[in-house]
Amino acid sequence: MKRKRFENYDNVRNTNSFCEMLKWSKERRSKKKDLTVNTPNWESPEIERLKHNHKDFSVTWIGHSTFLIQIDGLNILTDPVWAKRMGFQKRLTEPGIPLTDMPEIDIVVISHGHYDHLDFGSIRRLKGAPVFYVPVGLKGAFRRRGYKKLVEANWWDSFTHDGIRLSFVPAQHWTRRTITDMNTSHWGGWVVEGTAADPSVYFVGDTGYFRGFRDIASQFNLDIVLMPIGAYEPEWFMAVSHINPEDSIKAFLELKGKTFIPMHYGAYRLADDTGPEALSRLLKEWKRLQLSDDSLRVLGIGETLWDYRKN
């Protein structure tokens, strides 16, 4: 039986060839990068407060695309990855909170199946008995490992869980975990909406810049946008699947979000850019566009944004 293959808007595809991979490899060897400076960890992560928090809204950056979102008394985890290695490369920065110090998790949302976003080694060690919200096509990978509390989502599907609303929205990307399963599961982002007292959170996932941001803005009022900014270089190779810092701001403005929190930089060297380079480009473009400093929150790894509407 032929397996379904998922597609992007406008049939945009990642079509990089083996020859282009070789070209990128040659380019990488010729570049001189300062790899001695890494994205800083927050000096005082509020581990005990997070463990015992059942009331206040919070967003904590664990690192890469992993966030702990506390909303309406629920603990939500995005793309949980505590892996010490990614392929042949070591993790550059320690996770902001050790996995053993995390609170019990109620919900896990997965953006797609790439290993830097879906790490079953980390998932096995989570506390609690979470429900996993996953893109369509990934349920089998979870079931084979014994997980039963699963909800599979297509683009624009919405679900209610203990009073909060979870919506799976489009992204421009691709996925693969084995030689034969390319694009047999979907990819996207998640919008989390609680009660009127709490902000909405859009976890963008992994994406290139695409027109879908305007469609998402038309469907949701977005407060906090967790936006990727790294793994974009070389742009001739990465642009389809990984948004650069300047385009991430363009997307944020189209989304009409209120607060931009950058992610997907600093933990793993998935491309030629470094974490400090990605953040520097973001800050330079933010300043050039004369955007409000109040709308950008750069979190340290392990830092928590509390009581959003009181800030």
User: Mean pLDDT of residues grouped by 10 in the chain (311 residues)?
Assistant: 86 82 77 84 94 95 98 97 92 96 98 98 98 97 97 98 97 94 96 91 98 98 98 93 98 98 96 95 98 97 83 45
Query: What is the predicted pLDDT for the residue at 144?
Result: 97
Query: What is the predicted pLDDT for the residue at 311?
Result: 45
Distance CA 300, CA 263 (A): 10
Tell if the pTM clears 0.75, that is, is over it: yes
Quickly count: other Cβ atoms within 10 Å of residue 122's Cβ: 18
CATH number of the domain located at residue range(s) 47-310 in this protein: 3.60.15.10
Q: What is the DSSP letter of 298?
A: -
Give me the helices (H) in 87-227, please: 120-123, 139-143, 212-219
Query: What is the predicted pLDDT for the residue at 87?
Result: 86
DSSP H or E segment with residue 51? helix 47-52
Quickly count: other Cβ atoms within 10 Å of residue 76's Cβ: 26
Quickly count: other Cβ atoms within 10 Å of residue 144's Cβ: 9
CA gyration radius, the chain: 18
Distance CA 94, CA 63 (A): 8
Question: How is residue 72 written in tokens?
Answer: 């309406």
Place of tokens 């664990």: 62
- Give me the residue spans of the domains in the chain: 47-310
Crossing angle of the two packed helices 245-255 and 275-288, in degrees rounded to 10: 50
Query: What is the predicted pLDDT for the residue at 124?
Result: 97
Q: Contact, 108 vs 133, CB < 8 A?
A: yes
Distance CA 157, CA 135 (A): 10
